[in-house]
Amino acid sequence: MKKTLFYGKISIQGRDVMKVRTRFAPSPTGFMHIGNLRTAIFEYLVAKKYNGDFLLRIEDTDQNRKVDGAIEFIYKTLELCGFQIDEGPFNEGDCGPYIQSERKDIYKKYALELVEKGEAYYCFCTESELEAMREHAAARKKPFLYDGRCSKLSKEKIAENLKNGVPYVIRQKMPKTGTTIVEDLIYGKIKIDNSILDDQILLKSDGFPTYNFANVVDDHLMGITHVIRGKEYLDQTAKYNLLYEAFGWEKPTYIHVAMVLGEDGNKLSKRNGDASFMDLYEEGYLPEAIVNYLVLLGWSPETNQEVYTMDELIKAFNENRISKSSSQYDVKKLKWFNAKYIKALDDEKYLEFIRPFLTHDVSDKSQEWADKLLLIYKDHLSYGKEIDEMVNIFFNDEINISAENKAFLESDANIPIVIDTYREELAKITDWTVENIAKVIDIVKEKTGVKGKILYMPMRIKISGVEHGPELPDEIYLIGKEKVIARLS
């Protein structure tokens, strides 16, 4: 049955039914900032909670920032995070194209419509004229606002300029008195004084639309019902609303979300070295863990549950519980989430995940040995790249014992007896297995009468140089009989 989309509704057999539609509209700059990803998560959950559609739209009106391959990169990121993209550049629906640079004719059509309505006007001011206005505003210590001089040009002068090919932009004609009301689901009603609104450019001289104009046109034509974006754009929403009113279009529901701050308390920024999603992914953070962590930055569930599957998030998500306050990115908490997700993997999936992060040469080892090595750290990892440092003790031909550990080995008269007993009993093993090694530990305990750290720590220090590690039988097994006996001697 054909569905005709308009204003976020679908018409089925002549009956209008609301259909929630959200969109994620990143710029193709090559990486997904975690603050942007958090917004995308909210947009996705709102759409799927109401059995609606989640769209991907590429906002590439700033061609200077465009990075080749970025659209594929964005798709990959969203798919890794478990998002189902209902419409986008690679799976178009009825509202395409979904890349703004391919929609220039659409924007021009609607910009000219506003000119015809008297809601916008041609501006032929040169850059030197605009710079003089900026300098005048700066001298008066006031923010620059275009003075609207071109809105007063006669029809004849406009026609002459167009005929002569004088470069122009199209500006929106803003009201200069009164207020514009912005209604937001999180922040309620916000009054914006119209006197501070600039006659913003809608269409640039190169034919590309500005960000604000393209968003309004696209959101309307694509039937977007809910617009979710950062709180920093809340004041700009007055301009959006005036455009909707000028066209006579229905406004979407706005949901502005507070910023995610970096660990230093400042706004997250790639330039400041803050991680992007792909940075985290390549470090060995699972996408599911990243999504789970980010959704709880600025949103609180109704229960104390912290770990969610995507289906559980969709069911539990309530957009009214999005916080007004900024949240702070905490890598320690992210590691906690990631460790939980790593532990929850079955062994086969865990090995598939962790093998690429092991850079030590295991070509002279069996697959069984390598898998055993990786598996004993499954419950100790917080991210993938951590594995290399953890397993160093199994790849060092020589060990270094610190002065502190040397002092410990000399601190109890039983320690040399324990070490000698281990060496003697381990040498007797003909079938070198974890089970047989565990039996030796019990024998040493029985023969020497020691327990606790005197039973375990001297052994660890002598064979690895450090006092902590995986389960002792596993550690002894993986280091190998020959090397262990040599180190105990």
Residues with catalytic annotation?
A: 270
Q: What is the DSSP string of 388-442?
A: HHHTGGGT-SS----HHHHHHHTS-THHHHHHHHHHHHHHT-SS--HHHHHHHHH
146 near 199, Cβ under 8 Å?
yes
Nearest-5° angle of CA 386, CA 334, CA 358? 20
Residues 387 and 390: their CA atoms lie apart, in Å, by 5
73 near 313, Cβ under 8 Å?
no
Phi first, then psi: what are they for 416, rounded to 5°?
Answer: -60, -35
Helix (H) or strand (E) run with residue 483 in it = helix 481-488
Strands (E), 110-199: 120-123, 169-172, 179-184, 188-193
Residues 186 and 255: their CA atoms lie apart, in Å, by 6
Query: How many CB atoms lie under 10 A from the CB of residue 416?
Result: 12
Quick one: tokens of 161?
């300029």
Nearest to 286 by CA among 343, 342, 336: 342
Quick one: tokens of 430?
């003909």
Residues 239 and 242: their CA atoms lie apart, in Å, by 5
Counting beta carbons within 10 angstroms of the beta carbon of residue 123, is it exposed (0 to 12), middle (13 to 18) or buried (19 or more)?
Answer: buried
100 near 52, Cβ under 8 Å?
no
Quick one: tokens of 152?
């007063």
